[in-house]
Amino acid sequence: MADAPKLFKVTIDNITIEVEAGTSILQAARKIGGDVAPPAMCYYTRLKGSGGKCRTCLVEVAAGSTADPRPMPKLVASCRTNVMDGMIVKNITSEKVIDARNGVVEFLLINHPLDCPICDQAGECDLQNLSYEHGKEGTRYEFPRRTFEKHDLGPYIQLHMTRCIMCFRCVYTADQLTEKRVHGILDRGDHAEIATYIQKSLDHDFIGNVIDVCPVGALTDKTFRFKNRVWFLKPLDAHRQCSNPKCSGKVTLWNRGEEVFRVTARKDQWGEVEDWICNECRFEKKKTSDWTIEGPTMINRHSVIAQGHYVGVQKPQEVLYDVLDGRKPRLFMDIHSVSQVNEPGRDLSKIEGPAHSTDFIENNK
Amino acid sequence: MGRKLLLEKDGIEGIRFYDVYRREGGYRSVEKVLKSMTPDQVTDEVKKSGLRGRGGAGFPTGMKWSFIAKPEGVPRHLVCNADESEPGTFKDRYLMEFIPHLLIEGLIVSSYALGSNVTYIYIRGEYAWIIDILEQAITEAKNNGWLGKNILGSGFDCEIYVHRGAGAYICGEETALIESLEGKRGNPRIKPPFPAVKGAWDRPTVVNNVETLAAVVPIINISGEEYAKIGVGKSTGTKLISACGNINKSGVYEIDMTISVEEFIFSEEYCGGIANGKRLKACIPGGSSVPILPANLLLKTAKGDTRLMNYESLSDGGFAKGSMMGSGGFIVLDEDQCVVKNTYTFARFYRHESCGQCSPCREGTGWMEKILKNIDTGKGKMSDIDLLWDIQRKIEGNTICPLGDAAAWPVAAAIRHFRDEFEWHVKNPVECLNRNYGLANYAEPLQLATA
């Protein structure tokens, strides 16, 4: 029994779960799943040191542990706070948390361009999802939004800093996946920006992964930009024997018909990459014949991407006639038979001035 | 005349140099500690003294020292935080410029207590001339055997290095300071782990303010118990206050925390009253980030007691009716000062100094600044005041480091106590450009729901 991992009991939103010591509150909440899992914009399980920055995953700790049941004075970042035995956490059951989270979402959005209609990330954007859940329909921000010039980081990646929410994920990715980091943060505060030194290109074999980790449309795939909307594409799991030993070769192809529009790494249900892939797989292999297709990718049915999807779709079996208990839907009737206006028999061009209902009624008589 | 411990000898000619400093009894505490005390005894002495961190938060220093992890074979570090950048605070500058050896002496004693063989002074780059003074003092101390290997034959080695910052306010936050010291971008770290466990280069580290470390010298010299007798309650010892603003005599004063705020502002010994015969409007008693207080709440607490210049009394009444001791940057505003402009200036500072790491502070500080600028220049709306309140509420407590709080508090307090002045600015967009509101709600503070 000595080898058995020490289990901590933690209660999140009144649901108790046992997790190993050293698990973060966020990971414990993800084990419970559903709405209990706090949103995370900057934390990334596979990136060491990430998290704590966006503050969307703030939770209230109502009791620190069994040994020390005092509540924590401030809301804590669940991604960077480890569970203790007997800890009681409030996420969506805490008004304080919801209020703070709404505030954070508002902060993230005040300088975001909200150019979703022309953004390639739309449909698979973490910020979009977060704003649907927590954002307001209007903004209280009445100042010009912060803008930056677009930069090409080498032949494959474009950086559009205006959309960036400074999650630092790409910096960690470059730090941990490539040998030499050539991009980082310049400046500070609200004018801080992700940049390379004098627009140097990013050309490491694995640098393409920064596109996948980016929660917004700040880093986009130049081979895919403006080619298609993600919800028109059909995601397929595929693999190939990649010559790069570090590359898993396991990808998601985004197809329309036989044409491969883009290749991304596979993502889990939390939107995190499962295995990193190399630039060759991502940018160069754009033919179906390059890949062994395993089958359709399972997409959360709430996602907009599921709209064009074809597995597990439940079409309503009844026709409208059944739903309306045998009544005929009036809306589908010929409008002229029920409406007094705009009869085909009346020639509008012969009426002087604008037509009134009386013109038609007289005609009926 | 209050008791002086730190600035007792600041008037002596040549005290900046080793010979005079030593002649005046300098480095006695090092002799005492290295020859007759164990490191734990030094920590106990500091604990007994009740010394609280002089950098702003007021955390008991002895307790902080006792938290330091002592894993086998891992070096520990003491870092002196001389990145004094809080607007209104300039006490450390005075101390380092005129009595640098007091800091060096305090550093040696503290390093001995913490077992730090390599100690750093992280100083803001703008203090360029003080860096030279400190390095000269370190060289003098080294030449006289107070630093280096086997000091006074005790077997204790200690080196002090001066590291200059590059002008970021955020690097005064201890974890950002450590990052900067390591040569990285000065972004605050997420705690835990705390520096006492994993600090500079993942080694146990203690970061203390200049004044805190200097105060260790008199504590050792007169004993912790004796030190604790000075002051009131948990505010023991003496505190340096850097007074500025509309007062007759601005400067650095050493107080023993028993005098009243009224005495401090109006007595000839200290500030000497409000300049040009004007009346007192408000005061920011502890540096730019602590809440501003209107005159009536400044001189008397909410209960009607006289407000004293110490940690407890200044924070009496919570944020609704009190403020904080902070770092001792005492800023006085007379009746002709505009609270809106003052708040805007602070907001501009915090926007500029936000590191940009976490969202509420990065976006919120800029937003507040823009709204305050609008109100200040007569372009504000009534709803902006409530919006400001809401923004500061959503920044406060939700950030990685205390800079978010520091940016939120001045705005909150200004609205809490001077809402009528903000409203006047909105209602009189032309007039507010030409004249100030004058003495705000002097007698009766507005009753407002507070965070």
- Taking the CA of residue B199 and the nearest CA in chain A, the distance in Å comes to 15
Do A218 and A297 share a domain, yes or no?
A: no
Residue A1: inside a domain, yes or no? no
Return the pLDDT at B134.
Answer: 96
Burial class (CB in 10 A: 0-12, 13-18, 19+), A119: buried
> How many structural domains is chain B composed of?
3
CATH number at residue B344: 1.20.1440.230
Cα distance between residue A239 and residue A231, in whole Å: 22
- Nearest residue of B to residue A186 by CA position? B185
Do B259 and B211 share a domain, yes or no?
A: no
- Mean pLDDT value across chain B: 91
Q: How many CB atoms are closer than 10 A to CB A334?
A: 7
The two tokens of residue B385 are: 């005041």
Last residue of a domain, one of A226, A248, A281: A226
Residue A341: inside a domain, yes or no? yes
A58: nearest CB among B366, B390, B398: B398
Cα distance between residue A40 and residue B178, in whole Å: 27
Say if residue A177's pLDDT is above 80: yes
Estimate the crossing angle of helix B339-353 against helix B359-376, to 10 degrees.
Answer: 150
Return the pLDDT at A257.
Answer: 83
* Segments of chain A assigned E as strands: 7-12, 15-20, 58-63, 76-77, 87-90, 150-153, 157-160, 183-186, 193-196, 219-221, 234-239, 250-256, 259-265, 292-296
Cα distance between residue B186 and residue B178, in whole Å: 8
Burial class (CB in 10 A: 0-12, 13-18, 19+), A48: exposed
Sign of dihedral through CA atoms A195, A196, A198, A199? negative
The fraction of chain B above a pLDDT of 70, given in percent, is 97
State which residues form the domain around B207.
18-229
Using one digit for the tens of pLDDT, what is the confidence trace for B26-71?
999 999 999 999 999 999 999 999 999 998 888 999 999 999 999 9
Using one digit for the tens of pLDDT, what is the confidence trace for B260-317?
999 999 999 999 999 998 888 999 999 999 999 988 888 888 888 889 999 999 988 8
- Taking the CA of residue A304 and the nearest CA in chain B, the distance in Å comes to 27
Residue A48: inside a domain, yes or no? yes
Return the pLDDT at B451.
Answer: 38
Tallying the residues shown for chain B, one arrives at 451
CB contact under 8 A, B397 and A74: yes
Return the pLDDT at B167.
Answer: 86
- Nearest residue of B to residue A81 by CA position? B192
Name the 3-class secondary structure at A241.
coil
Half-sphere exposure of B88 (CA within 13 A, CB side): 29
A189: nearest CB among B185, B356, B360: B356
> How many structural domains is chain A composed of?
4
Do A216 and A120 share a domain, yes or no?
A: yes
* 3-class DSSP string for B68-110: CCCCCCCCEEEEEEECCCCCCCCHHHHHHHHCHHHHHHHHHHH
B355: nearest CB among A103, A143, A188: A188
Task: Name chain A contacts of B179, Cβ cutoff 8 Å.
Answer: none
Query: Partners of B77 in the beta sheet?
Result: B118, B205
Do A222 and A237 share a domain, yes or no?
A: no
Do B219 and B263 share a domain, yes or no?
A: no
CATH number at residue B286: 3.10.20.600
Name residue, tokens 């779709």. A313
Residue B90: inside a domain, yes or no? yes
Do B328 and B343 share a domain, yes or no?
A: no
- Taking the CA of residue B261 and the nearest CA in chain A, the distance in Å comes to 30
Query: Do residues B55 and B81 make contact, with C-beta atoms less than 8 angstroms apart?
Result: yes
Using one digit for the tens of pLDDT, what is the confidence trace for A12-44?
999 999 999 989 999 999 999 888 999 999 999
ipTM for the predicted complex: 0.89
Cα distance between residue B313 and residue B305, in whole Å: 9
Distant-in-sequence, close-in-space partners of B338: CB < 8 Å, separation ≥ 6:
B376, B421, B436, B437
Say if residue A313's pLDDT is above 70: no
Do A222 and A256 share a domain, yes or no?
A: no
pTM over 0.95? The answer is no
Cβ–Cβ contact B85 with A under 8 A: no
Q: Which residue, B2, B1, B9, B51, is CA-closest to B257? A: B2
Cα distance between residue A190 and residue B361, in whole Å: 9
- Nearest residue of B to residue A75 by CA position? B398
Return the pLDDT at A231.
Answer: 86
Using one digit for the tens of pLDDT, what is the confidence trace for A323-349?
777 776 665 556 666 666 556 666 777
Do B325 and B179 share a domain, yes or no?
A: no
Of A189-198, B174-183, B442-451, highest mean pLDDT: B174-183
Name the 3-class secondary structure at A263.
strand
Cβ–Cβ contact A194 with B under 8 A: no
Return the pLDDT at B450.
Answer: 42
The two tokens of residue B264 are: 């401090």
Residue A360: inside a domain, yes or no? yes
CATH number at residue A204: 3.30.70.20
Task: Name chain B contacts of A111, Cβ cutoff 8 Å.
Answer: 363, 366
Say if residue B353's pLDDT is above 50: yes
Say if residue A173's pLDDT is above 60: yes
Residue A358: inside a domain, yes or no? yes
Distant-in-sequence, close-in-space partners of A316: CB < 8 Å, separation ≥ 6:
none
Cα distance between residue A320 and residue A318, in whole Å: 7
Q: Which residue, B117, B147, B151, B152, is CA-closest to B135? A: B147
Last residue of a domain, one of B229, B252, B278: B229
Return the pLDDT at A310.
Answer: 57
Say if residue A179's pLDDT is above 80: no
Query: Do residues A220 and A158 make contact, with C-beta atoms less than 8 angstroms apart?
Result: yes
Cβ–Cβ contact A3 with B under 8 A: no
Task: Name chain B contacts of A185, Cβ cutoff 8 Å.
Answer: 185, 356
Residue A357: inside a domain, yes or no? yes
Return the pLDDT at B143.
Answer: 95
The mean per-residue pLDDT over the stretch B136-159 comes to: 94
Cα distance between residue A176 and residue B275, in whole Å: 59
Residue B108: inside a domain, yes or no? yes
- Taking the CA of residue B348 and the nearest CA in chain A, the distance in Å comes to 11
Do A100 and A126 share a domain, yes or no?
A: no
Q: B193: cis peptide before it, omega within 30°?
A: yes
Say if residue A251's pLDDT is above 60: yes
Query: Do residues A251 and A265 make contact, with C-beta atoms less than 8 angstroms apart?
Result: yes
- Mean pLDDT value across chain A: 85
Last residue of a domain, one of B183, B200, B229: B229
Between B438 and B428, where is the model more confident? B428
Cβ–Cβ contact B194 with A under 8 A: no
CB contact under 8 A, A189 and B357: no
Cα distance between residue B306 and residue B18, in whole Å: 43
The mean per-residue pLDDT over the stretch A209-235 comes to: 91
Say if residue B13's pLDDT is above 60: yes
* 3-class DSSP string for chain B: CCCCCCCCCCCCCCCCCHHHHHHCCCCHHHHHHHHHCCHHHHHHHHHHHCCECCCCCCCEHHHHHHCCCCCCCCCEEEEEEECCCCCCCCHHHHHHHHCHHHHHHHHHHHHHHHCEEEEEEEECCCCHHHHHHHHHHHHHHHHCCCCECCHHHCCCCEEEEEEECCCCHHHHCHHHHHHHHCCCCCCCCCCCCCCCCCCHHHCCEEEEEHHHHHHHHHHHHHCHHHHHCCEECCEECCEEEEEEECECCCEEEEECCCCEHHHHHHCCCCCCCEHHHCCEEEEEECECCCCCEEHHHHHECCCCCECECCHHHHCCCHHHHCCCCCCCEEEEEECCCCHHHHHHHHHHHHHHHCCCCCHHHHHHHHHHHHHHHHHHCCCCCHHHHHHHHHHHHHHCCCCCCCHHHHHHHHHHHHHHHHHHHHHHHHHCCCHHHHCCCCCCCCCCCCCCCCC
Cβ–Cβ contact B363 with A under 8 A: yes
Cβ–Cβ contact A55 with B under 8 A: yes
**Integer Rg of chain B from CA:** 22
Do B125 and B25 share a domain, yes or no?
A: yes
CB contact under 8 A, B387 and A140: yes
Do A303 and A328 share a domain, yes or no?
A: no
Say if residue B20's pLDDT is above 70: yes
The two tokens of residue B448 are: 């407002």
CB contact under 8 A, B370 and A143: yes
Q: How many CB atoms are closer than 10 A to CB A247?
A: 21
Do B136 and B222 share a domain, yes or no?
A: yes
- Nearest residue of B to residue A49 by CA position? B190
CATH number at residue A89: 3.10.20.740
Name the 3-class secondary structure at A361.
helix
Cα distance between residue A196 and residue A202, in whole Å: 8
Q: Which residue, A108, A117, A71, is CA-closest to A90? A: A71
Cβ–Cβ contact A130 with B under 8 A: no
Distant-in-sequence, close-in-space partners of B226: CB < 8 Å, separation ≥ 6:
none
Do B289 and B157 share a domain, yes or no?
A: no
Do A307 and A329 share a domain, yes or no?
A: no
Residue A2: inside a domain, yes or no? no
State which residues form the domain around A200.
113-138+145-226
- Nearest residue of A to residue B404 by CA position? A189
- Best of B359, B371, B382 to disrupt the A interface (most A CBs within 10 Å) is B359
Give A58-82 as a DSSP string. Answer: EEEEEE--SSS-PPPSS-EEGGG-B
Residue B81: inside a domain, yes or no? yes
Residue A159: inside a domain, yes or no? yes
**DSSP conformational letter for A98:** H
Cβ–Cβ contact B170 with A under 8 A: yes
Residue B10: inside a domain, yes or no? no
Cα distance between residue A4 and residue B409, in whole Å: 48
Residue B1: inside a domain, yes or no? no
Do A119 and A203 share a domain, yes or no?
A: yes
- Taking the CA of residue B307 and the nearest CA in chain A, the distance in Å comes to 27
CATH number at residue B87: 3.40.50.11540
- Best of A41, A54, A55, A65 to disrupt the B interface (most B CBs within 10 Å) is A55
Name the 3-class secondary structure at A230.
helix
Query: In whole angstroms, how far apart are CA B183 and each of B179, B180, B200, B318?
Result: 7, 5, 10, 39
Do A205 and A125 share a domain, yes or no?
A: yes
Tallying the residues shown for chain A, one arrives at 365
- Nearest residue of A to residue B380 by CA position? A142
Say if residue B174's pLDDT is above 80: yes
Say if residue A174's pLDDT is above 90: no
Cβ–Cβ contact A49 with B under 8 A: no
Cα distance between residue A5 and residue B202, in whole Å: 26
Cα distance between residue B56 and residue B62, in whole Å: 16
Query: Do residues B122 and B6 make contact, with C-beta atoms less than 8 angstroms apart?
Result: no
Return the pLDDT at B443.
Answer: 41
Query: Partners of B383 in the beta sheet?
Result: none
Do B65 and B189 share a domain, yes or no?
A: yes
Residue B34: inside a domain, yes or no? yes
Last residue of a domain, one of A278, A293, A315: A315
Do B51 and B194 share a domain, yes or no?
A: yes
Chain A (7-46) residues lying within 8 Å, Cβ to Cβ, of chain B? none
Say if residue B363's pLDDT is above 50: yes
CB contact under 8 A, B362 and A143: no
What single letter denotes the amino acid at residue A303? S
Cα distance between residue A244 and residue A153, in whole Å: 22
Do B305 and B225 share a domain, yes or no?
A: no
Name residue, tokens 């060759």. A280
Do A120 and A206 share a domain, yes or no?
A: yes
Cα distance between residue A57 and residue A134, in whole Å: 12
CA B354 to chain centre: 18
Query: Do residues B42 and B296 make contact, with C-beta atoms less than 8 angstroms apart?
Result: no
Give A22-41 as a DSSP string. Answer: T-BHHHHHHHH-GGGSPP-S
CB contact under 8 A, A55 and B398: yes
Task: Name chain A contacts of B351, Cβ cutoff 8 Å.
Answer: 189-190
Task: Name chain B contacts of A95, Cβ cutoff 8 Å.
Answer: none
